Amino acid sequence: MAEQTITLGGGCFWCTEAVFVRVRGVLDVESGYCNGQVPQPTYEQVCTGQTGHVEVVRLRYEDSVIDLRSLLDIFFTVHDPTTLNRQGNDVGTQYRSGIYTESDHDAVVARDYIAALTQAGAFHAPIVTEVQPLSMYSAAEAYHQDYFEHHPHQGYCAYVVAPKVLKLEKSFSHWLR
């Protein structure tokens, strides 16, 4: 077993976390913040849009079970990579689409993947997902971890998160735990 890590920003981390905790081969999903200028920011600071951070999930996965390309297939299906600094009604730089890598290999895989989607005309608009080295990562506060699991009937969870989970279940049933 070779354990790997990739950090993904696809809008609100509650949505992205709720999807990837259901994926076979993903060992851990942690909501957090990265690529900003303030060490250990709080949720309130990140929400101002002034810290430069992105809401992300950091995935630890077993690459003998699921590879990075398959994780990217899921990622690009459950969020909109064509909207700059927003996902639906969540607007701000903290909701930008991004892939934050810890190795040159992962950066190449991510860039090649985006190039292939672009070449195939997979989306109605240009892909704006940034691919950057991971920096200034910190875990989000404890109350953000496993948020959907703890609050499935909360309004945002029921109307925004749950449809993304359903999309995973319909499109990637072969990857479900």
CA distances 125 to 4, 72, 81, 89, Å, are 31, 18, 9, 18
- How many CA atoms does the CB half-sphere of 106 hold within 13 Å? 21
Looking at 12, 15, 34, 157, which residue is catalytic? 12
34 given a catalytic annotation: no
Residue ranges of E strands in the chain: 3-10, 26-34, 54-62, 86-87, 90-91, 97-101, 130-133, 138-139
Q: Do the beta carbons of residue 21 and residue 161 sit within 8 Å?
A: no
Q: Rounded to an integer, what distance in angstroms lies between the CA atom of residue 128 and that of residue 166?
A: 24
CA distances 10 to 1, 16, 53, 90, 168, Å, are 27, 6, 13, 11, 14
Catalytic residues, by residue number, are: 12
